[in-house]
Structures are given as C-alpha cells and as structure tokens.
Amino acid sequence: MSHGDLVLEDATSAVTTFTMPAGAVTVEAVFKASPSIPLTFTHSASYNVPSGAVNTAVTTIDVSGGVAGGKAPYTFGKESGPDWLSVSTAGIISGKRPASAQSAASAVIFVKDSAEPSGYKTITVTVGAVTAEAKPWANPFTDVKESDWFYNDVRIACESGLINGTTATTYSPDNNLTYAEAIKLAACMHQLHTTGEVTLTNGSPVWYQSYIDYAKAHNIIAIDYQWTAQATRAGYMEIFAGALPEEALPVINTVADGKIPDVPMTYPGAAAIYKLYRAGIVQGVDAARNCNPGAGIKRSEVAAILTRMMDADARVKFSL
C-alpha cells in the first residue's frame, strides 16, 4: 500500500495535506508544538470518500510511512477509542464500524520514537457520521410497512444483523418477545459493539443455546431464564442492561431512586430498570413513565430499543 507524506515534527505553525491512495480521503492537518500534534482524518461530504466505506468500515490506513522527526523505529498504539477500531504497533489503523452507529467516533493514536520512549506524540483519528446515499432496504416482511412507526427501527436492526423475522417473510411485530429471543439480541449487541459485526449463529438442536453460552462467557447474564417463555419488561431489561459495557450506557437522565412509579427499589430487577431509564434506552409506557415491569414487550417495541442501545444519538432525554 502506498503512503502519503505524514510528517510528525515539532512545528509551531504548519499546514499540510495528506492524501490517501486513489483519492480516498483528503486530510488537512495543522501541526502544533510537541508533545501533542493533532491530526484529524474526517469523513466529510466535501471529501472524496467511497460511498461503500462511509458508516460501514474504516479504510485501513498506514500512518507509519513518511514519519519524520525523532528516531526510528517508531511504535504506534491506541491510547483511547472505540473497541472496534484497532491500531497495530506498525501504525495500521483498521476496523469495521457497527452499522447502527450514526455518530462520529474518534481514537487517539500515540506515536513513540526509540530515542525518547517516555515521550510521545498523538494523532486523533475521527471517523465521521456522514451517511452515504442510502440504498433502499429490500424489506422481506409482508407485515412491516413503510408507514409503520417501527419500520425504520426494524430496518436498522435487520441491516445490523441483530434481529431476524419469525419466518423469511414475516417479522411478527405484535408478537411478544421471548427470553430466548432476548438473549440472542443481547449476545448480538455485545458482539456488534465489541467487534463491529455479528457472526453468532443459531445452535443445534437448541437454536438459542449458542447465544446463552456467549452471554454467560461474557458476563451478560449469570442465571438461566425460562427461555421459551414470554419475557417480561423487567426480565428483558435485566438481560439488556448487561449487553453493553458501562461506558456505552452513560447516565443522561436524572431518575432518582424510587421515582419510577411502579418500580420501587425493592422490586426484583430494579437496578437494571433504573439503569436503562437513566441511559435513555427506555422511557416508560405512559406520561407518568410507569414501567409496567410484569407485562410483555412486543417485537415492534424491541426494534426501537435496539436502535437506542446501539446509537447514542437516538436515546431519549427526560427527568423524573
């Protein structure tokens, strides 16, 4: 792979342009004084980004070519950033964005030189949220119409690989979610968040066993449920609350203990319910924000929950 000229030098004011091969991305970088030299790769409508790469994958970028200043060999690594983006010690930045992620993600990449291993410079890599021209979803479901309120949520969940229909041509939006379906969704959300794609498949002879095994191995659940039974709202929330790491479900809402009208803190699963309320994943079933924890949840409603779980911009803000 050929490289553009990426110069890491101490300079108080310098502007240069770094062009990826085949005009994939054009980057304007402003270099500032050591020790921090920010460089932003931005997917923007003004740049020539292949439509197939936007919001689906990070093009593999080699930032080691053309590095100057300091003393080789250089060592690269990721100081911070999303789990799905990786950086090799040779400076290869790669990864596949979750299809459901709509907001920009960034990673801080560090560069160390062998002459001064205790000091380093940083590069900030931003994968923007510009959406390529959308291809129409080939909706296979006869019971999901474009006019349905849940249409877009079902589309996103299906395109992400999170959810399937109950048959090849039916989604069954009014069916209640089962615990088996809930654990499948939780396992797939965890894998999508962690790796950028869903590769889990059904087990045999029990189709949901592979998802149970994955969930237990990754500490999503610690107990078994009546897997073929209808999941209650409290039950699916207990499972979903463990599907993503804590930092992926930050508190955005003020919901004091005991403020959900029908969920006292002594209610089984209250901690999970309050966690999802505070993270903006759920907002209650009525104006008073009751949870109705013992009731079931429809597959149409679940699609909306999946969107909020995987896309922070879709979460609901409120106070209670």
48-60 residue pLDDT tens: 333 433 333 333 3
* Sheet with strand 74-80: strands edge to edge: 74-80, 105-113, 121-127
Q: Model confidence over 178-230: pLDDT tens digits?
A: 999 999 999 999 998 888 788 999 999 999 999 999 999 999 999 999 999 99
Q: Between β-strands 85-87 and 74-80, what pairing exists: parallel, antiparallel or unpaired?
A: unpaired
Q: Please return the burial class of 244, using the count of CB atoms within 10 Å of its CB with bins 0-12, 13-18 and 19+.
A: buried
For position 220, what pLDDT does the model report?
A: 96
Q: Which domains does the chain have, with CATH numbers?
A: 14-127 (2.60.40.10), 151-314 (no CATH)
Rounded-to-integer distance, Cα 78 and Cα 281, Å: 29
Hey, what are 113's tokens?
A: 């030189």
CB atoms near residue 67 (< 10 Å) = 21
Burial class (CB in 10 A: 0-12, 13-18, 19+), 218: middle
Position 132: which residue type? A
Least confident of 6-10, 153-157, 240-244, 269-273: 6-10
Report percent pLDDT > 70 for the chain: 60
Query: What mean pLDDT value characterizes the chain?
Result: 73
Locate tokens 């002459």: which residue? 115
The first and second tokens of residue 177, run together, are: 């979610």
pLDDT in tens, 119-177: 556 555 555 443 444 467 789 999 999 999 999 999 988 888 888 899 999 999 999 99
Angstrom distance (rounded) from CA 195 to CA 83: 7
The dihedral through the CA atoms of 244, 249, 255, 257 has a sign that is positive
Mean pLDDT, residues 280-292 taken together = 95
CB 232, CB 293: distance < 8 Å? yes
